[in-house]
Structure 1
Amino acid sequence: LATPLPHPKKIGWTRGFTLWGGLRQQWKLLGLFEIDQQHEFYSLTCMMKEGLAAAVQNTAPTTDVSDDDFASEATLTHKDFTMKTYAGSVFASLRFSVGVTEQEYQRSLCSQSFYLQFISNSKSKADFFLTSHTDPRYRSAFKYFIVMQSVFYPNDRINARYDIKGCEVSRWTEPEPDRSNIIVVLKDLNFEGQYITLGECQCSWLLQQVQIDTHFLQQLNVLDYSLLLAHQPLHHDERLHNLSFASLIVRTKKSVATATDFPDFKAQNRRLLPNLKNPLHIIDGPDRRYFVGIIDIFTVYGFKKRLEHLWKTLRHPGRSFSTVSPRTYCRRLSQWVQEHTK
């Protein structure tokens, strides 16, 4: 979910056209495009809103999540499409655990405001839609989508963003000039020579959590996921608060427990959450605030990826690249975080 953006109805009519035009131009510089009636994804996003609104009304958080809840699938048929929701009560419980009510969730996703399309430099070619908070048809094929809070939220002071895979081939992005309004997500080689500086307690938590998460993804036989990382400078008063532990330590949450299919998975890695928006992805160090999360977790290491691994081995001898076995991918990303955190 994106940071709230101004809506044209909130701008005075006299100056509205000029200001709204300037805002849309600014969005384009950031890689954002409004999905209005002329946009190719307009019909799709309308169906998403209708389906999500119905799905929220039919799910509710539960205090005792079971294996059946994880395996549940709910299918709702609408006028022009059918929508299937996976593990609805589980995700409702996750939202509730971080203070997001189902009413807030529905308001954000299903309002009359247009979604925004984010044009990223991701090699996966996935479509990214952002809510603003306030005619092709897709009938012949399934289209899967996942709803998640943006790792980089709130983004008002973020001054660098990285997509980390723990390898070197194709892992450099040319930075934009200073004072450019264009947002570029940098990569592994851009981060060389830098560190995630957290301090002993937070550092220990991050290293263990990355090991837990990557081990879980290895068990699922997936690869090519990314560690999203961003940072922003802390203000003087925020650094003082962190030193005194006055506002940083507010509440404690458990990591998500695993299903019984993975008995060796560590189900808990407690940490103290900050009393901030998006607390799950935010970690404060002595001088910087870091935004951290793992995304793109749906690439399975099947026959096609095994062939790609063989081809890249021949093309890039002696160099590290993204398409490797899930075991190697898990170990390598954990090692990258360990080597770049202090």
Structure 2
Amino acid sequence: MATKEEPTSNPVNPGKPVDDPSKDIVPETAVVTKVTQKKIGHRRVDASTGQTTYKKTPSSALSGSIQLAISHTVAGLSSKPERDVLMQDFQVVETIVFPSEGSNLTPAHHFGEFTFRTYAPTAFRYFRDLFGIRPDDYMLSISRLPLRELSNPGASGSLFFVTHDDEFIIKTVQHKEAEFLQKLLPGYYMNLVQNPRTLLPKFYGLYNVQSGGKNIRMVVMNNLLPSVIKMHLKYDLKGSTYKRKASKHERAKKNPTYKDLDLLQDIPDGLTLEPDIHNALMKTMQRDCLVLQSFKIMDYSLLLAIHNLDEMEKEMAAKNKHAQNFKKGYRAAQSVMDSTMLRTKYSKDLDHWSGGIPAKNGKGERLLVFCGVIDILQCYKWKKKMEHTWKSMIADGDSVSVHRPSFYCERFQKFMGDHVFKKSVVKSQPKRQRDLLPNESPRPS
């Protein structure tokens, strides 16, 4: 005869019976754990889902809002007649609201209502026109296909988006950086008028997306590194040696960004350039540094990426690619090489070097070098002065990155000229016996 089993009391709620006590036992695998997030500044990455947010706004929603708003505002601006840029144009801020259901001025969308601000639209239209960017091309590049988010943006905590055609980078910036760029615009405009050939960032737009009480500011810039070309080495160079070495975490990445001390170790002989290319590059760099110094800007970097043509050929041969794929990749590399080898043209026009500068390393390997000055929105104010003072107490003050603009300018140029870019030596060939004129005689040895 079966005995009736008394129900067990519930340990969570005493007095209430439980049919199956095992249901109240939480297995180890079901223990609730806190979701970890990787946080750098306002940028967060959910470790479990890989979802990126910026100021708690999903990056996918932010990129969609950017594409919609920029294409809409640029289209509206293109309908207005072109005119000269006036000083008051740098202070203009145009604001438009994008409700989800749409309005008489804006289309419907699924990103949630947001407010979009465009800073100095007439001035930036002039900048884009100066760099040869038509309004239609600008809109298509940004809005035709989804933006690609960079997974390795660096230590700034910013979000980086790249357009589908590799033309533009969209970067989130802090409030102080956006404010400084606004103040910089009149001087930036004057510099471009006098010197359109520059290694400085090319700013194409400054915008602000306001959603959920959060302001997300961003700039649109030129993209220095085309994704279709493999970069074998990449460096962020400041001309400083204090703690300027890539960390173990950075080195473990698929495409690490190395620093000044790494370059001195990896490429001790520097990069050799043809004399006319070297002269044009260093002259432009000197002019750019003096411009930054005049605005009291420091802590900028030279982003340097190297594509090794000889190593690429070996890699492709080792992979046993069939002839069609090999030729396709080779032609792509060679087309860049051919365009940059027109030295008589590009020695006078650095703007065309966005395709790469031909160079060689100490081993004589053929290289394509991509470079440009980045991170110029750092002004030498009291916060940077305090940082320099503090670092100088524990290290050589002249070796730390943060320094007064005049010293930073000189040190930056000296490092690039002494350690990075070297001028090739053209060896004169002795005349052969048959090349001598009738009245010439060979020199005695």
Q: Could you tell me how far 1:209 is from its partner in structure 2?
A: 0.9
Aligned AA (2:342)? L
Residue 334 of structure 2 corresponds to residue 270 of structure 1:
no
Aligned partner letter, 2:118: T
Match of residue 162 from structure 2: 130
Cα pair distance change 1:199/1:92, threshold 3 Å: same
Gaps in structure 1 of 5+ consecutive residues = 1-27, 253-268
Question: In the alignment, what sits opposite 2:276?
Answer: 201
When structure 1 is superposed on structure 2, of 63-72 and 233-242 the one drifting more is 233-242
> Which residue is 2:66 aligned to?
48
Moved more, 191-200 or 52-61: 52-61
Inter-CA distance 241–210: structure 2 relative to 1 (3 Å threshold): same
Residue of structure 2 in register with 1:232 after alignment: 307
- Per-residue deviation, 1:311: 0.8
Could you say which residue in structure 2 is the equivalent of 1:266?
Answer: none
Deviation at 1:125, TM superposition (A): 2.2
In structure 1, the residue matched to 2:356 is 282
Q: Between 212-221 and 169-178, report the one with greater CA deviation.
A: 169-178
Q: 1:198 to 1:63 in 2, by over 3 A?
A: farther
1:196-220 CA distances to partner (integer Å, 9 max, x unpaired)? 2111101011111111111111111
Q: Give the corresponding residue for 1:263.
A: none
Q: 1:109 aligns with which of 123, 139, 142?
A: 142
| CA apart distance, 1:62 | 9.4
Matched, 1:162 2:235: yes
1:123-148 alpha-carbon deviations (Å, 9 max, x no partner): x22222223359x9744343321112
Paired with 1:96 and 1:129, the residues of 2 have a C-alpha distance of 22
d(CA) in 1 for partners of 2:213 and 2:94? 17
The structural deviation recorded for 1:156 is: 1.9
CA distance in 1: counterparts of 2:164 and 2:345, whole angstroms: 29
Native 8 Å contact 2:337 2:358 kept in 1: no
SS in 2 for 1:285: strand
Tell me the residue number matched to 2:287. 212
Q: Do residues 68 (structure 1) and 102 (structure 2) align?
A: no
Shift, 1:333, TM fit: 0.9
TM-score (norm 2): 0.55
| Equivalent residue number for residue 152 of structure 2 | 119
Q: 1:325 aligned to 2:343?
A: no
Report which structure shows greater RCO (CA 8 Å, sep ≥6).
1
**Residue pair 2:147, 2:161 contacting (<8 A) in 1 also:** no
**Cα distance in 1 between the residues matched to 2:280 and 2:82:** 26
Deviation, structure 1 residue 247: 6.0
Q: Matches of residues 141-180 of structure 1 in structure 2 within 5 Å?
A: 141-174=214-247
What's the offset of the Cα at 1:149? 2.4
- The 2-side partners of 1:44 and 1:110 are apart by 13
Tell me the matched-pair count. 287
CA distance, structure 2, for counterparts of residue 89 and residue 318 of structure 1: 43
CA separation of 1:113/1:194 partners in 2, compared to 1, >3 Å: closer, same or farther?
Answer: same
Residue in 1 that maps onto 2:97:
78
| Matched position secondary structure for 2:222 | coil
Among 395, 404, 411, the alignment partner of 1:316 is 395
Asked whether the equivalents of residues 108 and 133 of structure 1 are also in contact (C-alpha less than 8 Å), the reply is: yes
Please report the RMSD computed on the Cα atoms of aligned residues, expressed in angstroms. Answer: 4.0
* Paired letter, 1:271: D
Asked if residue 248 in structure 1 is aligned to residue 308 in structure 2, the reply is no
Query: Which one is further off, 92-101 or 287-296?
Result: 92-101
Deviations 1:10-66 (A, max 9, x none): xxxxxxxxxxxxxxxxxx9xxxx7879x98223322222222112321445999854
Amino acid in the other structure paired with 1:309: H
d(CA) in 2 for partners of 1:186, 1:333: 17
Q: Determine the structure 1 residue equivalent to 2:39.
A: none
Q: C-alpha offsets along residues 264-317 of structure 1, whole Å, 9 cap, x if unaligned?
A: xxxxx932665xxxx436322363211010111111111111111111111223
* Shift in CA distance, 331/272, structure 1 to aligned 2, threshold 3 Å: closer
Query: Judging changes above 3 Å, is the alpha-carbon distance between structure 1 residues 86 and 201 closer, same or farther for their aligned structure 2 residues?
Result: farther
TM-score (norm 1): 0.69
Q: Which structure: larger Rg?
A: 2
Tell me if the contact between 2:240 and 2:400 (Cα under 8 Å) persists in the aligned partners: yes
Tell me the residue number matched to 2:75. Answer: 57
Cα pair distance change 1:293/1:59, threshold 3 Å: farther
Change (3 A) 1:282 1:129: same
Q: Give the aligned residue type for 2:154.
A: N
Higher strand share: 2
Find the aligned partners of 1:152 and 1:227 in 2 and give their Cα distance. Answer: 13
Query: Conserved in 2, the CA contact under 8 Å of 1:241 and 1:248?
Result: no
Contact kept, 8 Å, 2:147 with 2:162, in 1: the verdict is no
C-alpha distance in structure 2 between counterparts of 1:157 and 1:244, whole Å: 17
